[in-house]
Structure 1
């Protein structure tokens, strides 16, 4: 199991990486169970619990494709999230799994979808920013939500390449960002919200990168 810990990135065995490469080639998306270890996850979620969220709309051109509660850009939880994933060793691993070179940075956000509200995340391709190469989503919810399933497909195709739940805390998935692909997250139902970190491995460097 590949995991980000205080001591760095662990579990990067060649056999596991080859299996992930094959799955990514087929589905354009793979699951990375417990990508954040429990100690780092506890600290991040604790900071998220102290955060003040705000209502946010997301646009692709003139179309709103998502609404949610977002953590402000200067919040400590968001800085912690970006710090953990701006890791050059992680960049090289992502390049190997996806067979996509040129990862130089990571930029992310933290958001929450509440059940029984107007929050939604409809089909889009994430290419509003051309430097985005690979997307990432990680579950930052301790309470088990219902719904909130990630789906990815080729544009114009009704058949999904894959569907991902990732309802365990710290579970993540990565997916290819391309003009030929689109993805969405289904409505959150039940009694508990879905809190997630979403971000992109990019071809441009971030301001803070951890070298390991």
Structure 2
């Protein structure tokens, strides 16, 4: 997917760069949107420093695959807090039609070029409160592989594929029972380091 600048999340504010109406069609078609430069440079530098200086622990996801998770979480909670701003939540609700949303949680994960780290097809609905997912590229080094794919479960039709090329790029995608996604192995370079989180449905 081609990423366009639609919002910019900074340390103290979030600036909206595109109206929901101009983006909603893309989400409807692909069930996902790619957002270029979604994190302002100052905040991005801080987050990447936290990832560079932090530690990561092995995380085996039963039946799905393996990756490493930031432990203790330092960059992850910082991003989650910034993504909770009301103007961004409202914008995302209008773009996706997936509101109302009330919370976001996430963490930083890392995949290495080791023929082991990957996630097989899954739908993220082991927690039924999840309504949208988001990944944000925090990789210091370029990498090959690590492609994200989203498809229809019933037909196998590919709806979207995305490779995080630039640090700070975000991907927001639908979480629903009729679709599933995967992350292919990193084949060289890297590691692939991303924030991965979920926007939760508001309680009724």
**Alignment TM-score > 0.5, same fold:** yes
Compute the displacement of 1:95 (Å).
0.2
Aligned partner of 1:152 in structure 2 is: 150
SS at match of 2:64: strand
Compute the displacement of 1:204 (Å).
4.7
How many corresponding residue pairs? Answer: 198
1:1-212 paired onto structure 2 within 5 Å: 1=5, 2-14=7-19, 17-59=20-62, 64-72=63-71, 74-204=72-202
Compute the displacement of 1:156 (Å).
3.1
RMSD: 1.5
- C-alpha distance in 1, partners of 2:170/2:82? 14
Report Cα offsets for 1:98-119 as digits up to 9, x if no partner.
Answer: 0111100100011100002411
TM-score normalized by structure 1? 0.88
Moved segments of 4+, more than 6 Å: none
Report Cα offsets for 1:15-53 as digits up to 9, x if no partner.
Answer: xx3221000001101101111011101001101112111
Report Cα offsets for 1:59-101 as digits up to 9, x if no partner.
Answer: 3xxxx202111012x4322221221212222111110110111
- C-alpha distance in 2, partners of 1:66/1:19? 36
User: Unaligned 5+ residue runs, structure 1?
Assistant: 206-212
Compute the displacement of 1:158 (Å).
2.7
